[in-house]
Amino acid sequence: MSAPEVDFVPVPVPRPNGRRPAGPEQAQDGRGRQAAEPAPPMRGLRARNDELRARVVAGQAEAIERQHGLGKRTARERLELLLDEDSFVELEPFRRHQAHGLGMERKRPHTDGVVVGSGTVHGRRVFVYAQDFTVFGGSLGEAHAAKIHKVMDLALDNGAPLIGLNDSGGARIQEGVMALNGYGGIFHRNVRASGVIPQISVILGPCAGGAAYSPALTDFTFMVRDTAQMYLTGPEVVEAVSGVRVTHAELGGADVHGERTGVASFVYDDEETCLEEVRYLVSLLPGNNLEPAPSAGRCGAADDERPELAEIVPVEPNRPYDMRAVIGELVDDAEFMEVHEHWARNVICALARIDGETVGVVASQPMVLAGVLDADAAQKAARFVRFCDAFGIPLVTLVDVPGFLPGVDQEHAGVIRHGAKLLYAYCEATVPRVQVILRKAYGGAYIVMDSRSIGCDLSLAWPTNEIAVMGAEGAVNVLFRKRLLSAADPDGLRAELVAEYSEQLMHPYHAAERGLVDDVIDPVRTRAAVARALEMLRNKRRSPPQRKHGNTPL
């Protein structure tokens, strides 16, 4: 859907001698020569420019009404919610496509379906583009793509976050390969900017076909329920190819990507909440990989005791509890932003502040699958660890993990490969890293969750910690299988052997005595201990080995 064409009639440009080409309507001077027309007054030119700009900004009333009828705001309304008041500087508002054929030369609205520019979020510079569904359905053509390329280049050159508000029907079919070329330019820039500036995608309408790859390449993707959809092939194509009927929401709605695929980092019910949360995320992040994240100022965490921590976590190793309650006691003001909250819920990844400084928290979640690691959880945590490391955000890892999830499905799903992603991410990370072992830390999962052996700087443990190859009962069943089978009282013998194994190899100070845990701390002092550890590590410097890049087990 396009906005009405807004034509601007250019003022004739004088020739070097100050005269314009003669026309039949021009008056002649006394010698029979045609007299030059006086130049239009500046006031008239300014008024004409203001009028055109106002018409471009206002858009087409009928198309805007349809957009509102779909429960969606316009591109400019969204930018007003996202950016600080009066901070937006628009670029190329008068851009129009140059395509010909298929009637395109008769429809040339200004902006070409995307509003681009720069503004501030909490006073900090960001660059942004917002696709305008009221113009050509937000479809991407050559001029549309060129505007996005420009703002992406400016974001990278200026070391500022890039935010894309997506609401587009996809490639503009009438422009053919030039539309595809435009998408390629966006993807190339997404990769160039990766790890240099934060990139945030916000899906506020359709994002179909090749367009979906740009959000997949960015650091965080926000989606709004009921209005946002992402998929490579739409329901019609799926039905034609497979015979399966599916709705847009069932195929690529916000809940699908928030709960099943992990494509959406955050899902919200409405645009207002979504864009407010984008602002909060930006407040936690550095502008680029060479800057520190903004500090909120110290708040006395280094001396803060939290008695609730001694009550939240049960001493019994098999009793569940909500790790989010622990995180709430650990971070400033109990505020944290959980990434992928509804996907792979057996591990928690969150951004927060401790003593005013941004940290990334990776934590087991005993409330879901007892906190075991599986293929999805490993992928989720690995990507989060790599993001934090790229932008210099310290990592705090809270461990209560009984191991990797066993099963045929997991093995066939590639849990080895996906677990290796998390292992690789931690091994590669050079930011300050603090591990806290609350209860269980068994087997390979203990190693993967940022153990000392793979490079964590400080490992702290509670008196309830159990670090071992496996739980005592499992170990006894393996080690003494034959003895238990022949015993007159196998249950009594098993209990005796379990107690012996636990006393020798699983007591709280076993790892500390061997230098694998730096200190066994009072749970009440966890916030203070972590804050002091991070302060101690604040100036950590470690250079990676010289190489082009490693080969991550993707």
Catalytic pick from 193, 445, 531, 533?
445
Q: Which residue has the higher pLDDT, 27 or 452?
A: 452
Pairing label, strands 220-224, 266-268: parallel
Q: What is the 3-state secondary structure (H, E, C) of 70-92?
A: CCCCCHHHHHHHHCCCCCCEEEC
Q: Which residues, at least 6 apart from 177, have a Cβ–Cβ distance to it below 8 Å? A: none
In order, the DSSP letters of 470-515 are S-HHHHHHHHTHHHHHH-SSHHHHHHHHHHHHHHHHSSTTHHHHTT
- Which member of 185, 195, 210, 262 is catalytic? 210
Give the active site residue among 59, 209, 253, 403.
209
* Lookup: tokens for 222: 């926000």
Choose, from 185, 444, 455, 474, the residue flagged as catalytic.
Answer: 444
What are the extents of the domains in the chain? 62-284, 301-465+508-537
pTM of the complete model: 0.89
Instruction: Return the CATH superfamily for domain 62-284.
Output: 2-enoyl-CoA Hydratase; Chain A, domain 1 (3.90.226.10)
User: Across 92-219, where does the E strand assignment appear?
Assistant: 114-121, 124-131, 162-168, 199-208
- On the question of pLDDT at 7 being above 60, the answer is no
What is the predicted pLDDT for the residue at 174?
87
Q: Which two tokens stand for residue 278?
A: 């984008």
Q: What is the rounded CA–CA span in Å between residue 198 and residue 339?
A: 15
CB-based burial of residue 69 (10 Å sphere; 0-12 exposed, 13-18 middle, 19+ buried)?
exposed
Least confident of 57-71, 115-129, 321-335, 487-501: 487-501
C-alpha span between 463 and 254 (Å, rounded): 42
How much of the chain, in percent, has pLDDT values that exceed 70?
94
- Residue 549 or residue 457, greater confidence: 457
Query: What is the model's pLDDT at position 253?
Result: 95
CATH number of the domain located at residue range(s) 301-465+508-537 in this protein: 3.90.226.10
Cα(111)–Cα(135) distance, integer angstroms = 8
Distance (Å, whole) CA 551 – CA 108 = 47
Beta bridge partners of 337: 351
The 10s digit of each residue's pLDDT in 104-155 is 888 888 888 999 999 999 999 999 999 999 998 888 999 999 999 999 999 9
As a whole number of angstroms, the distance between CA 175 and CA 441 comes to: 57
User: Hey, what are 493's tokens?
Assistant: 């013998």
- What is the chain's mean pLDDT, rounded? 91
In the prediction, which pLDDT does 6 show? 45
36 — pLDDT class (breaks 50, 70, 90): low
Question: Residue 527 — very low, low, confident or very high, per pLDDT cuts 50/70/90?
Answer: very high
What's the confidence (pLDDT) of residue 359?
Answer: 98
| 445 is annotated as an active-site residue | yes
Same fold, 62-284 and 301-465+508-537: yes
Residue 117 appears among annotated catalytic residues: no
